[in-house]
Chains A and B, each alone.
Chain A
Amino acid sequence: MRIFVSLFIAFGVLLGGIVAATFLAAQSPDESGLARHNYPTERITVPSWRFAHGPHVRAAFREVVAKSRPSIVEIKVEGRKVALGGIVGADGWILTKASALVGPITCRLSDGRELDARIVGASREYDVAMLKVAAKQLPTLVISDSVVPVVGSWLASVGMDSYPLAVGIVSVQPREIPHQAGILGIQLDAVSGQALIVRVFPGSAAAKAGLMVSDVILEIDGAETPTRDALIRRVWQFNPGDQVTVKVLRGKEQLTLEAVLMGRFPGLMPSRNEFQNRLGSGLSERRFGFPSAFQHDTVINANDCGGPVVNLDGEVVGFNIARSGRTETYAITAASISKLLYELMSGNLEPEPVEGSVPENSSAGEKEPEQQESPLVPLVPAEVP
């Protein structure tokens, strides 16, 4: 069998400075006036065995993933795959990525059963959640919390097939992954000192949540936001991709809305850095701010996060938690998971059900406000949480 994968290169993107915004490397004539290329300009055919992470290489990992494969679960929300998960308790306990779970959850097990699941515990810090399905005697993963893979070690991301879904190596030892401030996408009244919305950016987290101009934000995820500054500080504590409950006062009515924070303003062009990081692979919404994770170079889809990674001995050394950039995937360590497991199962970390509902006319927030003022390049970020 010879599978050919086509490698078509139309242009190259310079990797250097973070300064400028010109993406295309021009084909310029050299001194002799002839156009010369230092990257390919025509279609090149590369056989699939040649790829470091191609199917032939992955086939060598079959026995590496054989032990954990029956414990892999596909997590679906409204029928759509949002993540992978791993069975950590025989009575239907499944660990997965928390921020992927927005809506009613079903789990497809390796035996083909598809079961409804509920969240019994979640850690916002690590972005992991414990799900429970009604099933018994499921095959469970053995988490090897004493094994820390060194830089350069192979890792296989276990999927539901006999081959791993992807393979890669450890790029960086476990470390704290820096936090990045989340954004609601609103402008607040600067005069009153209250958390009073004067503008909702179209397409923003706030617009999608149904926040409207003149709403006063009272609480974010249970913490009061009596002032403008308190709200800004509160929102910045979260990461892009975090789902937060927003309690607002609209007229005389109090409403509780759900918002998924963003990392940048809608409508603005992505930065050069973000543009490059998004080339060729989708990224997880929640991909910053983990207390401890190791970085690996495995290319996975955002909805392949939440499942275990194993070393060449087949030991579970971590769980994929985010596809974070073109060069990086983060996995939280087995040691962190072991510490969290019982807490997540205990019910102490059960998320509170959301009170209230989104009013019918909530889509009004997505309408463009009649007047908006902005300088040519992005708005002053400090003005807007």
Chain B
Amino acid sequence: MIKRVLFVAIISPLLLSGELLRAAEPLPFSPELKSVLSARYPGNVEDLKLLEKQVQLVAAQAVPATVEVEIGRSIGSGVIVSKGGLVLTAAHVIGRAGRKATLVLADGRRLEGRTLGAHHLMDAGMVQITDPPEDLPFVPVAPDTSVDIGQWVVATGQPGGILDDRSPPVRLGRVLATGGQWICTDCTLVGGDSGGPLFNMRGEVMAIHMSIGPEVVHNFHVPVTEIQPVWDKMLAGEVWGNDRAKRELEGRAVLGLAARTVNNRCEVTQVFTGYPAEAAGVQPGDQIVAVDGQLITSILELSAYVFAKSPGDSVHLDIVRNARPTEFDVVLGAIRDPLPGSYDPSSSETEPSAEGQP
């Protein structure tokens, strides 16, 4: 592997209101702390206190530089890594280059930005703040050093999106395992944290939050050591790798019909124009008795079945029409605008996509 240190921490302390240091400077370690951090685990309260002091310092530096990233209907997290307003985030948060982004700082400030490049397979991306203010907080990126199994780490982000008067929650964990392209920690993450930073104990960004698994100890991050070799490519606005975010944006699978439950039968009451059910020939009054061979006795069962599918999947419907059985194969579409009468929590923040949806 070609080792390139493309990013050097800028050491330029900015003094704000006389005291607030917002420099991107790695935090020093005392010899005592060093031995606690390199031990398998803390042995006593003194060790814990040394660790705690450091976590508090890392948190104080991490929180102001953590941002919520809003792009269209997508919400994620990010971290400011330069005085010039460069933000690291996840590829599946930004999708593609050139999109308008809003970055919300921990202090509530909303800054405008544009998405730069993204590597979808790795799940890392960049956003540039359009007009970075003088007092922009930022943090250093870890130099190209390896990730140590068992090392202590701090995570921030905006889980569930930004909330009034909640600063980005700080979480502590350790590196449980790594596979080169990913780091697994026990810093708990959840939706909205994507793209948020993972810090080492020097307060440097060492990874970007990517995904979670079924247990609370399954939290995955992309190490910056993987991002650094493609830093310039990303900065130049290149987007490559498999576009996972595109699938995300395609949304939830739908049949495009409304129904009611009558005597344990799911009866179609309406077929929406332009949706797959209409194209397949489903009509109001049809009774859907089975989907993919599974008996359906209520609209809720049908909804649950379709919900678990992806757009583009095909389902087989057994229908009773005028007391005669008939069958349809329907290729599920993607929900775009909310269907009439449906509840879509994201509908209030609709933004016409520049991509031009069909």
Note all chain B residues with C-beta closer than 8 A to A12: 210-213, 218, 220
Note all chain A residues with C-beta closer than 8 A to B176: 7, 44, 46, 50-51
CB distance from B158 to the nearest CB of A (A): 11
Q: How far is the CA of A341 from the CA of B135 in the complex (A)?
A: 45
Q: How far is the CA of A312 from the CA of B42 in the complex (A)?
A: 13
Question: Is B260 an interface residue when CB atoms closer than 8 A count as contact?
Answer: yes
Contact B258 A171 (CB under 8 A): no
Contact B190 A152 (CB under 8 A): no
Question: Is A1 an interface residue when CB atoms closer than 8 A count as contact?
Answer: no
Q: How far is the CA of A13 from the CA of B308 in the complex (A)?
A: 14
Question: Is B328 an interface residue when CB atoms closer than 8 A count as contact?
Answer: no
Knowing A17-B93, A279-B214, A376-B255, the reply to whether A38 touches B45 (Cβ < 8 A) is no
Contact A375 B342 (CB under 8 A): yes
Question: Is B324 an interface residue when CB atoms closer than 8 A count as contact?
Answer: no
Question: Is A102 an interface residue when CB atoms closer than 8 A count as contact?
Answer: no
Question: Is B188 an interface residue when CB atoms closer than 8 A count as contact?
Answer: yes
Knowing A15-B190, A21-B307, A276-B191, the reply to whether A39 touches B300 (Cβ < 8 A) is no
Question: Is B130 an interface residue when CB atoms closer than 8 A count as contact?
Answer: no
Note all chain B residues with C-beta closer than 8 A to A172: 166-167, 169-170
Contact B216 A326 (CB under 8 A): yes
Q: Chain A: how many interface residues by the 8 Å CB criterion? A: 86
Knowing A44-B177, A150-B56, the reply to whether A374 touches B300 (Cβ < 8 A) is yes
Stretch at the interface among A55-63, A135-143, A224-232, A238-246: A55-63
CB distance from A327 to the nearest CB of B (A): 4
Question: Is B160 an interface residue when CB atoms closer than 8 A count as contact?
Answer: yes
Contact A52 B186 (CB under 8 A): yes
Q: How far is the CA of A16 from the CA of B209 in the complex (A)?
A: 9
Note all chain A residues with C-beta closer than 8 A to B356: none
B172, B181, B195, B242 — most chain A CB neighbours (10 Å): B172
Known: A276-B212, A328-B169. 15 other contacts (CB 8 A): A12-B210, A16-B90, A16-B245, A31-B240, A40-B177, A176-B165, A277-B191, A280-B216, A295-B169, A371-B262, A374-B261, A376-B259, A376-B342, A377-B343, A378-B342
Contacts A/B (CB < 8 Å), 22 sampled: A15-B76, A15-B191, A26-B247, A37-B181, A44-B176, A49-B40, A51-B186, A56-B40, A153-B52, A169-B55, A173-B167, A175-B165, A178-B164, A327-B171, A327-B190, A328-B159, A328-B169, A373-B261, A373-B269, A376-B258, A376-B339, A377-B344
